[in-house]
């Protein structure tokens, strides 16, 4: 009878774990499959991965005037309303809690490979295609539920200005196809939903997943296939 009892305990634990993952996933998602990598197993030891622990680096004061490595000589062209992030709002979403969203309601993220003292962005090239930076013309977005003392900018290599929160550059994620979604949480163990105080939101921490592939270049025609669709999964990109 003892072995049977142990089997029952193991099965019950597995069911509980599966339920916990489902409860942690964004509303309307398909648990792990919606985090960008259903085909390959993610790391089992999430707590030991970089960025999945407490966040002492988020306590420093922001440096609004900090810049990335030398910017382009020419100033970046003025952004259109569609390109610029014009509003930052502190909000709450199901299962995750406190987040910051832009004017379209999309959740914003921070990247562990960036820096906040001073502010520095290391997401360029294909990385910036998958994680579009929150760009600004004047560094003065409308704020709601976010302190103006925490908001600044960092100048990117192309001369454009990116909004920062407590020194951390802000990004959206192309894998989030609708407002309020947060499928970028814990991607590669380095991307995290950012809270209104600039800290990582670790309320819900799914297993580490891989980012979606960069969006297809329309000029490449059909030869690019479907592998670069923003909804694709399991890319091998390191960002």
Percentage of the chain with pLDDT > 70?
A: 60
pTM of the model: 0.69
Mean pLDDT check: name the lowest of 39-43, 128-132, 174-178. 39-43
Euclidean distance between CA atoms 37 and 218, whole angstroms = 25
Q: What is the pLDDT of residue 218?
A: 58
Euclidean distance between CA atoms 144 and 196, whole angstroms = 10
Convert 98-136 to b/e letters by CB count within 10 Å (16 or more is b).
Answer: bbbbbeeebbbbbbbbbbbbbbbbebeebbbbbbbbbbb
Q: What is the pLDDT of residue 207?
A: 96
Q: Please report, for the chain, the start and end positions of each structural domain, with discontinuous segments joined by +.
A: 2-216
Bridge partners (DSSP) listed for residue 116: 119
pLDDT digit string (tens) for 67-92? 544 544 456 778 888 899 999 999 99
Better-predicted residue by pLDDT, 9 or 77: 77
Strand 87-93 relative to strand 142-144, pairing: parallel
Better-predicted residue by pLDDT, 177 or 56: 177
Concatenated DSSP letters of 100-130: EE-TT--B-EEETTSEETTEE----THHHHH
**Helix or strand (DSSP H, E) at 144:** strand 142-144
Better-predicted residue by pLDDT, 124 or 6: 124
Report the pLDDT averaged over residues 25-38. 43
Q: What is the pLDDT of residue 170?
A: 98
Instruction: Judge whether 230 and 215 are in contact, CB under 8 Å.
Output: yes
Res 165 pLDDT > 60: yes
pLDDT digit string (tens) for 177-228? 999 999 999 999 999 999 999 999 999 999 999 999 998 875 544 433 343 3
């Amino acid at each position: 009878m003892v072995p049977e009892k142990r089997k029952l305990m193991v099965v019950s634990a597995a069911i509980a774990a599966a339920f916990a993952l489902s409860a942690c996933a964004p509303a309307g998602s398909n648990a792990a499959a919606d985090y960008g990598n259903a085909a390959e197993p993610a790391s089992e030891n999430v707590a030991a991965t970089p960025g999945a622990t407490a966040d002492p680096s988020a306590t420093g004061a922001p440096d609004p005037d900090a810049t990335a490595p030398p910017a382009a000589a020419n100033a970046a062209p003025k952004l259109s309303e569609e390109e610029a992030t014009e509003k930052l709002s502190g909000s709450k979403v199901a299962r995750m809690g406190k987040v910051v969203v832009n004017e379209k309601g999309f959740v914003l993220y921070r990247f562990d490979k960036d820096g906040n003292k001073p502010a520095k962005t290391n997401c360029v090239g294909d990385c910036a295609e998958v994680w579009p930076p929150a760009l600004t013309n004047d560094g003065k977005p409308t704020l709601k539920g976010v302190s103006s003392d925490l908001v600044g900018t960092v100048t990117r290599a192309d001369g454009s200005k990116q909004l920062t929160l407590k020194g951390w550059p802000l990004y959206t994620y192309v894998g989030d196809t609708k407002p309020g979604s947060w499928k970028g949480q814990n991607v590669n163990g380095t991307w995290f939903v950012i809270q209104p105080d600039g800290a990582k939101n670790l309320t819900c921490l799914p297993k580490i997943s891989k980012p979606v592939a960069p969006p297809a270049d329309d000029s490449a025609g059909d030869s690019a296939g479907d592998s670069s669709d923003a909804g694709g999964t399991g890319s091998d990109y390191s960002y």
